Structure 1
Amino acid sequence: MDRVHLNPPPAADVAERADVHAVAPLLNCLLREVAEPHGESGGRRVYRLPGSDRLLRVLGERRPAEPEVRTDGTWRRIGHTELVKLVADELRRHTGLSNHELPAEMIDSRDAVAALLTARARATPPDDLYLRSEQCLLTGHPHHPAPKARGGGPVAAWLPYAPEAHARFPLTLLGLREDVVVEEGDTSALDALGEAPPGYRLLPAHPWQLDLVGPDLAEAFADGRLVRLGTTGFDAWPTAAIRTLYAPERDLFLKFSLDVRITNDIRRLWRHDLLKLRPTDTAAATALGACDGPAAWLGDRGYRTAGFAFEELAVLVRDGLRGGLLPGATPLLAAGLVEGFEGSPLADAVDPAAWWEAYLAQVVPPALAAFAEHGVVLEAHLQNTLVAVDTDGIPVQALFRDAEGVKLLPDVSRAAGWERLVYCLVVNHLVEIAGALVERRPTLDPWPAVRRELARHDLPEIPDLLSAPTLPGKTNLLLRWTGADGADARYLPLPNPLAGA
């Protein structure tokens, strides 16, 4: 980690702040997916939990806080631990299913936040504004029950690699015997990371992943299929995705497998995704390259791995920032703009309405054009979108990433692709940016500008999007409770702010 500060925060303060960070997304899930609105009380919104017929009230809307339950005619405040028990009981009644894993993940997520808060008090955020935006996500996904869970392992095992703790570290370098190398695409950047002995190719490894799968590789190290070559002479910075690292000196992103459940999935580079990487990446690059405007695609150039540990040791090479970035522009993670970081242009916008219109003009057209003209469904959510700003903090470019999340028509139906695009772009992305703006400028109505931007595009789905009473909201809580595949998105209807704008 970086430079050290003295005087860590008191344990009681850390515990209280960790509860606040962990309660908000869990409540968001419960209120979106299960609870029923039940009026107001004491200036707070009240909800009925239909499984148990209990009443719950919360403070605030976008990031609900201070949950209270109605007991013996009075409201009683509950903390995160009791909220987890309440949610688990409600879900058992609601679904008829038990799940002992998810409550443990909820507790792990909250405890991870406490560890991150303590670590951040001792570390200095990066000077680079882009890296700061990637490493600011203490709350994380605002509609996931356990957004900061780290697989239940000891803090010492994962904290040195946590972006939220402003970590940076060298990559482990392995030599992979040439006869067991499996690769596709352009992986030449890997060969420049060091020097491999004759008969071997360089294979960088995430040190946390190597700790996780190390025992399974003992035979490969013993018989010489793998050799250890030390570490890189430079640091890589973990981005918000945790397993994707950025090496500024090389302007290179590397995405690794990580055998840890983070949000909905075990974060391996799965074989089936890697095998379809090239056509998907090519389609996304072609679609964005044809756009009328400065939008860019951060291409996934290729991957390298070991034939005997295809998923475990896979590394994916992704384009850096400099090749596609407008001169003088600063890229920022959209999710970081929502959560907030020192120097964020969203917080400092002098004219928030003009800033918002500029933001929409960069983000919306390329996502819609890719779908309409090329059948490419970008996963244009907050964590896969970078928004570049000029020296005045005004958005001037959008950069999209992650071929793994891209869907192509007709591999999915047009209706399913459109639903996914609306969820990623509108519900997960624009709703959250709009909420962050309104929180700072309560007089701003963000939705007429969104309507105007969408209406400029000649897609047959747009009129219905602008008039439909609901939008699709992903059900992360129910998805995890029922044990559904993380890629098997399930949606429920949410009120559509566009319809009344």
Structure 2
Amino acid sequence: MDRVDHMPPSDDVVDHLPAVDDVAERADAYAAAPLLNCLLREVAEPLPATGERRTYRLPGTGRLLRVRGARRPAAPEVHAAGAWRRIGHTELVKLVAEELRRHTGLSSDDLPTEMIDSRDAVAALLAARARTTAPDDPYLRSEQSLITGHPHHPAPKARGGGPVAAWLPYAPEAHARFPLVLLGVREDEVAEEGDTCALDALGAAPPGYRLLPAHPWQLGLVGPDLAPAFADGRLVHLGTTPFPAWPTAAVRTLYEPRRDLYLKFSLDVRITNDIRRLWRHDLRRLRRTDTAASHALAASAGPAAWLSDRGYRTAAFAFEELAVLVRDGLRGHLLPGATPLLAAGLVEGFEGNPLAAAPDPAAWWEAYLRQVVPPALTAFAGHGVVLEAHLQNTLIAVDASGTPVQALFRDAEGVKLLPDVSRAAGWERLVYCLVVNHLTEIAAALAEHHPGLDPWPAARRALAAHDLPEIPALLASPTLPGKTNLLLRWTGADGAAARYLPLPNPLANG
């Protein structure tokens, strides 16, 4: 059994978990950390520090809350009747819900349910990981490492509230791999754009049909709606692939290593802020955004690469439900001898994580910054391309010593282009994705593994090296934009409607 299966989210949590390997207690700890991060960032008011715990006032209810740890808060306690009392995840959800009702004047039945669903999903994943083995391949291991998931989301592991048996066979965190379902779509009903020839190599379609792979979870969700198409011959079942595909951290994006092929599917399930469907409007603009990102990264002075979303294929009568997107594999872009790793996996931790093992963490961090920062900034400055350069959309390739030597970016769906958005809005989004979501998390994990390291002077130098008019203000500003995922979900806002609040800017202290 992979020893990472029993690694809690951080050392902050490790110190306060029970000695007995109790899945329920561990699930509480994993689920509480990101929920507390949201509450403390978006709502709570910090009070003067006392001892090893941080104390906060919740302004809506007036209650006092204290936690241990910083990057991944743990062991929450509330003050009542003159004493501090430890609360579990269920009580924490009730506390958060009451605070948000008072704080916003609004009620939500959905979000508390999602919070509990996320915690229960973590418990199911922990139990499943105890019965499985992580992939041998370090890249796949990094993609399937995210038990905590988004560190600032109130329900990062919610799976739509469905029964565990419906989604667990397809969960990357459970080290899943599975064959794809193969469908045939009658040729006159095919809708596609771009380069989709890789799909035709997955199997054989009968005359008059085109091959369309389907995610088995998605097919189970929308299957009843497709019964008429199967009945009249617009769709036919063609079995399954003789080989498995591996779900990546994005859940609905799968990787097939032998063919070096990524396939991204619709999934009618809410994961974090959005229903993860391939929406028609996003597919229709795919070629434009992908081409712009490809040109921007190709023009980069360093080895950075863009994993192109080449094209999509679907059935005209189930355009979004059966859509599949074809993405570049790794081999045509990766430096010789380099090993790609998911940036979010470096933060979460997995067997062989080079961030934790770096013999010279300062040099490792400077190498990391050299690979990630220049391509993202030059894409914006020179091409008007706003990469969604957050932790799950960035791969970091390392050499044999574990040193970062290349960054690979992905996901045209999240790319924004100027002037579709204003320069100010594009810059704010880039700063959030690249600095707040990405560099801040890597820096904190590195400092936690290597006490005494101050990562921010090097980050400041890396940003200051670029001649963008926005850089001086970024380095002088006392705040950075932080996305409000808790309030966004509580108020039922569209997942794409990012709202930001000011966070302390560690770059301003260098």
TM-score, length basis structure 1: 0.98
Q: Could you tell me which residue of structure 2 aligns to residue 269 of structure 1? A: 278
Q: Which residue of 2 aligns with 1:114?
A: 123
Alignment match, 1:41: 50
1:237 to 222, 231, 246: 246
The separation in 1 between residues aligned to 2:93 and 2:418, in whole angstroms, is 40
Q: Following the alignment from structure 2 to structure 1, what is the Cα–Cα distance between the partners of residues 403 and 387? A: 23
Are 1:442 and 2:451 matched, yes or no?
yes
Q: Which amino acid aligns with 2:328?
A: D
1:370 aligns with 2:379: yes
Cα deviation for residue 40 of structure 1 reads: 2.5
Distance 2:302 2:366 in 1: 15
Q: CA deviation at 1:417?
A: 0.2
Aligned to 1:259: 268
What's the counterpart of residue 71 of structure 1?
A: 80
Distance 2:28 2:305 in 1: 38
| Candidates 413, 417, 420, aligned match of 1:404 | 413
- 1:225 maps onto 2:234 in alignment: yes
Instruction: For 1:160, give the aligned amino acid.
Output: P
**1:109-258 maps to which residues of 2 (within 5 A)?**
109-258=118-267
Distance 1:63 1:318, change over 3 A: same
Q: Please give the per-residue CA displacement for 1:18-57, whole angstroms capped at 9, x wherever unaligned.
A: 0010000000000000000012334211000000100000
Shift of 1:12: 6.8
From 471, 495, 504, the counterpart of 1:486: 495
Residue 499 of structure 1 aligns to a residue in which SS?
helix
CA displacement 1:278-329 (0-9 Å, x = unmatched)? 0100000000000001000000000000110000000000000000000000
Q: Does residue 1:417 correspond to 2:426, yes or no?
A: yes
Which AA in structure 2 matches 1:403? A
Secondary structure at the counterpart of residue 509 of structure 2: coil
Q: Could you tell me which amino acid in structure 2 is paired with residue 98 of structure 1?
A: S
* Structure 1 CA distance for aligned equivalents of residues 260 and 314 of structure 2: 21
Unaligned residue ranges in structure 1 (runs of 5+): none
2:329 alignment partner, SS class: coil
C-alpha distance in 2 between matches for 1:372 and 1:210? 42
Tell me the distance in 1 between the aligned counterparts of 2:52 and 2:236. 64
Mapped to 1, the partners of 2:19 and 2:194 lie a distance apart of 50
> For 2:71, which of 62, 71, 78 is the aligned residue?
62
Secondary structure of the residue aligned to 2:60 is coil
CA offsets 1:69-113 (integer angstroms, 9 cap, x no match): 000110000000000000000000011100000000000000000
Please tell me whether residue 278 in structure 1 is matched to residue 287 in structure 2: yes
Whole-angstrom CA distance in 2 between matches of 1:412 and 1:21: 36
What's 2:300 paired with? Answer: 291
* Structure 2 gaps, min length 5: 6-17
In structure 2, how many angstroms separate the alpha carbons of the residues matched to 1:410 and 1:485?
A: 22
Give the Cα separation in 2 of the matches to 1:43 and 1:131. Answer: 37
Q: CA 1:415–1:167 in 2, change beyond 3 Å: closer, same or farther?
A: same
Deviations 1:235-263 (A, max 9, x none): 10000000000000110000000000000
Q: 1:471 maps to which residue?
A: 480
For residues 112-166 of structure 1, the C-alpha deviation after alignment (integer angstroms, 9 at most, x for no partner) is: 0000000000000000000000000000000000000000000000000000000
How many Å separate the matches in 1 of 2:451 and 2:398?
A: 23
Structure 1 residue 442 displacement after superposition: 1.3
**Whole-angstrom distance in 1 between the partners of 2:333 and 2:479:** 36
Question: How far apart, in 1, do the equivalents of 2:149 and 2:279 lie?
Answer: 24
What does 1:99-110 correspond to in 2, within 5 Å? Answer: 99-110=108-119
SS at match of 2:91: helix
Instruction: Report Cα offsets for 1:318-344 as digits up to 9, x if no partner.
Output: 000000000000000000000000001
SS of structure 1 residue aligned to 2:269: strand
Code of the aligned partner of 2:86: R
Secondary structure (helix, strand or coil) at the match of 2:49 reads strand
Structure-1 separation of matches of 2:355 and 2:468? 30
Q: Percent identity?
A: 83
In the alignment, the residues of structure 2 paired with residue 167 and residue 36 of structure 1 have an alpha-carbon distance, to the nearest angstrom, of: 41
- Matches of 1:107 and 1:10, distance apart in 2: 24
Q: 2:14 matched to which residue of 1?
A: none
1:318-357 → structure 2 map (5 Å cutoff): 318-357=327-366
1:302 aligns with 2:311: yes
Are residues 1:26 and 2:35 paired?
A: yes
Q: How many residues align?
A: 496
Residue of structure 2 equivalent to 1:391:
400
Structure 2 Cα separation of the partners of residues 461 and 10 of structure 1? 50
Cα distance between partner residues in 2 of 1:206 and 1:10: 40
Q: Determine the C-alpha separation between the residues in 2 that align with 1:59 and 1:239.
A: 31
Query: 1-side partners of 2:275 and 2:239: how far apart?
Result: 27
- 1:246 partner letter: Y
Maintained 8 Å contact 1:388/1:395? yes
- Counterparts of 1:163 and 1:10 in 2: how far apart (Å)? 27
Q: Give the match for residue 432 of structure 1.
A: 441
Distance of 1:29 and 1:10 partners within structure 2: 27
Specify the alignment match of 1:499 in structure 2: 508
Q: How far is 1:11 from its partner? A: 9.7
Residue 25 (structure 2) aligns with: 16
Aligned partners of 1:440 and 1:335: how far apart in 2?
Answer: 15
SS in 1 for 2:508: coil
8 Å Cα contact 1:234/1:249 also seen in 2: no
